[in-house]
Structure formats: structure tokens, C-alpha cells
Structure 1
Amino acid sequence: MMTTDPRHLEQSTYLTLQVLALRLKDEVELLLKPEGLSVTQYNVLRILRGAGAQALTCGEVASQLLNKDPDVTRLLDRMQKQGLVERLRSEQDRRVLLTRLTPQGRATVDQFDAPVAALHRQQFRQLTPDRLALLLDLLQEIAQQDTD
């Protein structure tokens, strides 16, 4: 039975979103696991691919992460050891360390484009494109409140 108490509705909505977000994340983790990637590492690869030829600072990468990692430097160090990223000193300021994709990192992130898209189609299969667009609009409206 659905209650009209706004507090219950808000709490139920929050909990449903949390459960769904964890389930969706777990499914992506299962997809990435055979390649030895975490969701955060995959996110870093996508951020760096989006930067194109421009190398990014640790802070720039951290600011775009979906999952806030308290030690992005160590994360990038591990990814460098895996051959996914390369790190170099800025020519303008030698104190600044820049990160960009290696060819292996680019190939790794590219190989997941189709499988991740297929997973997302599966995850949202019960929604028509119109209803999915509505859901996106509603979620973006809520997300925008944080930035206002």
C-alpha cells in the first residue's frame, strides 16, 4: 500500500535509488573484472580518453571521478604499473605530474564501449526511450539542486 506521507515517499525513493545504483554498479564490476579493472579505474580511463591528447593533473582526474577516491595518486600509480596510463612532469611546472592514456589504456577502454552499451541496454530494457528520457530528466533535475 502506497502512503502519501512525503517523508515516507522521499525515504522510499532514496532507498530504491541506492539499491538500484549498487546493483547497476555491481553488474558493471562483473563486466570489467575479467580485465582486472575496477569501476573507478574504468572511469579514469574514460576521463583520460575524453581529454584527448591533453594530459590531466591528478586533481583534474579526481574532480571528474564518479566514485570519489581519497588517494587518486596511488590509483594512478597502480594504473601506470599496469601499463594503462603514463605520467610525466609538466614542462611549465616540474612539480606538476600529468597523466594520459597509453596505447594499451586506450585499447582497454575502447574494448569496453560495446559491452558496456549492451549492458546498459539490458539494465534499462523495461523502459521505453520516452520513459528513460523522463527518468534522466528527473534525475538531472534533482542533481541540479546540489549545484544551485
Structure 2
Amino acid sequence: MPESILQQQLKKEQPFESLELETFLNLLRTHNMIAAAPGRLMKRHGLSSAQYNILKILDSHHGEGLPCLEIVQQMVTRVPDITRLVDRLAEAELVERNRSESDRRVVMITITPKGRKLVETIRQPLLEIHKQNLGHMTEEELSQLNQLLVKARIRAEATPLCDGSE
């Protein structure tokens, strides 16, 4: 079997143990390459990508607060400690916590005007980065890639985070 592109890039003499392993490593390498520039953009604004994701979720709800559990369910990546992320955003005055009027046990998180302004500041440069990273692909290729990525993660999403070995 001929050497794969990833095998060449990694200067790996032996073939990968399986096509699934090579595919996983390709996904990981691609993520690292494509996520680097957005990560630098977020860092310049004092955010992690997860914190920006929280701000985007809250911004899309037009000032209506959301409980942490709802935010977690809408996030792109799974996060172990939403409370700590919200704490940092609150310290930076990008979000506020308020008790629900109907159920005092529920804490609602809302984006502040400062948080909205930051989302708006980041929006266009982030779109440009995505165009730079993926703009060489056709709409058909991007749609096909999206479909394949969804298909690839179906089982992983159904699998619990802990496999019992910890």
C-alpha cells in the first residue's frame, strides 16, 4: 500500500495500524491546524474558544438569559466545568448572573452590552479566518465534509464520556 500523505507529513516509516487510526489522526491534525488562527484571535481578546462559544449562544438569545445546563447543551465542544468559564466571563463583565423570578434555584446567565460588543468585534475577523482556512473548497465539498463529520461522530456522541477505566 502506498504511503499516505499524513504518513509522509509525520515522517512515519511504517503504515498506520488501521485506517480508523489514520483517519482519527488526520482529524486531530486538521483540527489543530484550522483551530490555531481562531485560537490566537480569541486569545488577543482574552477569551478561550469555549468562552466565545458561550457568548455567541447568549448573544443569539437576544438578551434572554439561559441557565447553565441549557448553555452546555448548545455548546459546540463539551466542557467539564461551565461554572468556571462563566465565572471568568462574569469577572470580565461580559455576562451577568441573575436568579430566575419563577424558580429562585435557577441562575440565569445573560450577556452584557460589553459582551455583545466583543462578539461583534470578533465576528468579522473570525469569518475571514474561516474563509482563509476553508474557502478553497467548493460548497459541494464543504457540504459533503459536513455530512461525513456528522456521520463520523454519531457513535462518539452516543458514547458516555467515562469508559469506567478511571
Q: Percent identity?
A: 35
Whichever of the two has the greater Rg, that structure is 2
> Which residue of the other structure, out of 43, 66, 81, is the alignment partner of 2:91?
81
TM-score (norm 2): 0.79
Give the corresponding residue for 1:64: 74
For 1:76, the aligned partner's letter is V
Q: By how many angstroms is 1:63 displaced?
A: 2.1
The residue matched to 2:69 in structure 1 has which SS? helix
- SS of match in other structure, 1:121: helix
* 2:51 equivalent in structure 1: 41
Does structure 1 residue 92 correspond to structure 2 residue 76? no
Residue 112 of structure 2: aligned partner: 102
Distance 2:79 2:24 in 1: 23
Q: Cα distance, 1:68 vs. partner?
A: 2.4
Shift of 1:65: 2.2
Q: How does 1:1-148 map to 2 (within 5 A)?
A: 1=2, 8-146=18-156
Q: Which has the higher helix share?
A: 1
- Structure 1 gaps, min length 5: none
TM-superposition CA deviations, 1:75-120 (whole Å, max 9, x none): 1121111010011000011121100110110111111111111101
Q: For residues 69 and 130 of structure 1, what CA distance do their matches in structure 2 show?
A: 31
Separation in structure 1 between the aligned mates of residue 80 and residue 138 of structure 2, nearest angstrom: 38
Count the aligned residue pairs: 147
Give, in whole Å, the separation in 2 of the partners of 1:74 and 1:147: 24
Aligned counterparts of 2:84 and 2:140: Cα–Cα separation in 1: 42
Aligned-residue CA RMSD (Å): 2.1
State the alpha-carbon separation in 1 of the partners of residues 91 and 61 from structure 2. Answer: 21
Q: What do residues 17-60 of structure 1 show as CA deviations (whole Å, max 9, x unaligned)?
A: 01111222222111112111111110110111122232111111
Unaligned ranges ≥5, structure 2: 5-14, 159-166
Classify 1:145/1:74 alpha carbon distance in 2 versus 1 (closer, same or farther; 3 Å).
closer
* TM-score between both structures, scaled by the size of structure 1: 0.88
